């Protein structure tokens, strides 16, 4: 670590990413394509570095949320197929075609716009048709009485000039949750999806080259849903119960240092609002990690950071740039010593459970002022700081 980075930093373990990729590949079998989801800066892990590693490893596709995320990868040497899951304005269709980026088509209006712009540009836009089977978000609605209307719309999109309907996909709403109702709902979504594919292909007279619906939960426990390609997100990064079941490794660790230590007498109120009061002589450490770095304030006075001598409870309210931890039971921890916020010895899942959220939100919340150090074979191979210097 350089001194300018010795504040709070994230370590991204590229060896763990490689291990997870190979483990998931083995789990899904050799005949299923692998799409790595790298939207939202690869859930805070660094989209360019993650995409570069997945490209080296032989992944088949990447998924992002927007054209800006796709172009960032294209401008930095990523040549493999990229699917945009979200909306792209019609004015950007020429760039999609120029940079060979695949676009999700979620309704008739967008299909018509994309077709018109592709024809105007004189090119062909590769698209994946999105089917809404129960997520109730994006996609052609095909449930119940809407089935034939939805299928007709999909076939119409497939036949539009300037569009190459390479794929069709849907998204499961509860595949990562346990329970009989969740199992039934996921199976219903999958059945509806396959019914739509069969009907659309019969009417269209062609087959979709890539059919995909398996997100993290489905990749872990519903092999019948793999079809042509899976889309692991959280699983790829090694978090959650399914990752543990498959023996995957967490890719990100978040660390900080003790910047100051003070000893306060009994009756001292700590931080804003004085919600914590010492009951005896208390050794308090200040660490430069606060809510501007992604430390959710709801964890004030509840969470514990991990030192070399064990957990150090957070005392008082979390501040914007720092928080206070109790080092009374860790007398050997000194100024400058590293502290783990989350990592193998202080799990992200535990932090998420305490915050009442999911690991995704916490990795995405690690702010841009927190440097990312990318580690491979025990060495820092690159660094990324998203502040403008």
Percent of residues, the chain, with pLDDT higher than 70? 98
pLDDT for 282 equals: 97
Is 80 annotated among the ligand-binding residues?
no
Structure confidence at residue 387 (pLDDT): 61
With a CB cutoff of 8 Å and minimum separation 6, the contacts of 210 are 33, 61, 128, 166, 167, 168, 169, 228, 229
**pLDDT value, residue 5:** 56
Question: Is the Cα torsion angle 32, 36, 37, 39 positive or negative in sign?
Answer: negative
Task: Give the pLDDT confidence score for residue 388 in this predicted structure.
Answer: 56
Place 384 in a pLDDT band, splitting at 50, 70 and 90: confident
User: What pLDDT is stored for residue 1 in this prediction?
Assistant: 40
pLDDT digits (tens, 9 = 90+) for 167-204: 999 999 999 999 999 999 999 999 999 999 999 999 99
pLDDT tier for residue 298 given thresholds of 50, 70 and 90: very high
User: Among the options 39, 110, 130, 317, which is catalytic?
Assistant: 39
Q: What is the mean pLDDT of the chain?
A: 96
The alpha carbon torsion through 275, 279, 281, 282 (nearest 10 deg) reads -40
Spatial neighbors of 370 by CB under 8 A, at least 6 apart, are 8, 9, 10, 254, 293, 294
This prediction's pTM: 0.94
CA 338 to each of CA 173, 255, 317: distance values in angstroms, whole numbers, following the listed order = 39, 7, 21
Report which DSSP code applies to 361. Answer: H
Residues contacting 115, CB < 8 A, separation 6+? 125, 157, 160, 161, 162, 163
Active-site residue 2, yes or no? no
What mean pLDDT is predicted for residues 338-344? 96
For residue range 236-262, what is the model confidence (pLDDT) as tens digits? 999 999 999 999 999 999 999 999 999
pLDDT, average across residues 87-106: 97
Query: Is position 7 annotated in a ligand binding site?
Result: no
Question: Which among 207, 189, 185, 187 is positioned nearest to 197, based on CA atoms?
Answer: 207
pLDDT band for 284, please (50, 70, 90 cuts): very high
Q: Which domains does the chain have, with CATH numbers?
A: 32-238 (3.20.20.10), 252-384 (2.40.37.10)
pLDDT of residue 385: 82
Find the catalytic residue in 26, 120, 262, 272. 272
Average pLDDT of the segment spanning 7-32: 97
pLDDT digits (tens, 9 = 90+) for 48-80: 999 999 999 999 999 999 999 999 999 999 999
Q: What is the pLDDT of residue 23?
A: 98
Give residue 2's pLDDT band: very low, low, confident or very high (50, 70, 90). very low
Query: Is 272 labeled as catalytic in the residue annotation?
Result: yes
pLDDT tens, residue by residue, 125-161:
999 999 999 999 999 999 999 999 999 999 999 999 9
pLDDT band at 215 (very low <50, low <70, confident <90, very high): very high
Q: For the residues of 31-93, what is the DSSP string, one character each?
A: TSEEEEE-HHHHHTT-HHHHHHHHHHHT--EEEESSHHHHHHHHTTT--S-EEE-S---GGGH
HSE-up (13 A, CA, CB side) for residue 318: 21
Q: Are 250 and 239 in contact (CB under 8 A)?
A: yes
Q: Is the pLDDT of residue 3 over 70?
A: no
End-to-end CA distance of the chain: 18
Residues 6+ apart with CB under 8 A from 200: 151, 154, 155, 158, 168, 208
Evaluate if residue 347 carries a pLDDT over 90: yes
């Amino acid at each position: 670590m350089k001194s300018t980075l010795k504040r709070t930093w994230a370590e991204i373990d590229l060896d763990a990413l490689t291990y997870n990729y190979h483990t998931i590949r083995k789990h899904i079998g050799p005949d299923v394509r692998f799409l790595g989801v790298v939207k939202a800066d690869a859930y805070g892990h660094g989209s360019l570095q993650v995409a570069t590693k997945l490209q080296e490893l032989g992944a088949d596709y990447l998924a992002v949320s927007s054209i800006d995320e796709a172009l960032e990868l294209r401008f930095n040497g990523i040549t493999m197929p990229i699917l945009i899951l979200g909306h792209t304005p019609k004015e950007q269709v020429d760039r999609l075609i120029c940079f060979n980026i695949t676009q999700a088509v979620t309704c008739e209006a967008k299909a018509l716009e994309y077709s018109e712009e592709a024809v105007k540009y004189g090119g062909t836009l590769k698209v994946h048709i999105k089917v809404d089977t129960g997520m109730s978000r994006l996609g052609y609605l095909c449930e119940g009485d809407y089935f034939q209307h939805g299928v007709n719309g999909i076939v119409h999109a497939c036949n539009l000039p300037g569009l190459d309907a390479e794929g069709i996909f849907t998204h499961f709403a509860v595949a990562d949750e346990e329970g009989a109702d969740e199992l039934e709902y996921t199976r219903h979504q999958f059945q509806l999806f396959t019914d739509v594919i069969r009907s659309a292909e019969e009417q269209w007279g062609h087959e979709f080259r890539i059919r995909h619906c398996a997100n993290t939960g489905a990749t872990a426990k519903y092999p019948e849903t793999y079809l042509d390609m899976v889309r692991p997100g959280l699983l790829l990064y090694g978090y959650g119960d399914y990752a543990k079941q498959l023996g995957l490794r967490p890719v990100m660790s978040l660390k900080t240092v003790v910047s100051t230590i003070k000893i306060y007498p009994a009756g001292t109120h700590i931080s804003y609002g004085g919600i914590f009061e010492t009951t005896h002589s208390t050794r308090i450490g200040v660490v430069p990690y606060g809510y501007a770095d992604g430390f959710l304030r709801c964890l004030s006075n509840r969470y514990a950071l991990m030192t070399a001598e064990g957990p150090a409870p957070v005392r008082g309210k979390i501040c914007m740039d720092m928080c206070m931890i109790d080092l009374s039971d860790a007398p050997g921890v000194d100024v400058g010593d590293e502290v783990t916020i989350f990592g193998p010895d202080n799990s992200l899942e535990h932090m998420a459970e305490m915050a009442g959220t999911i690991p995704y939100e916490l990795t995405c919340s690690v702010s841009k002022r927190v440097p990312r150090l990318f580690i491979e074979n025990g060495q820092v191979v690159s660094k990324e700081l998203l502040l403008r210097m």
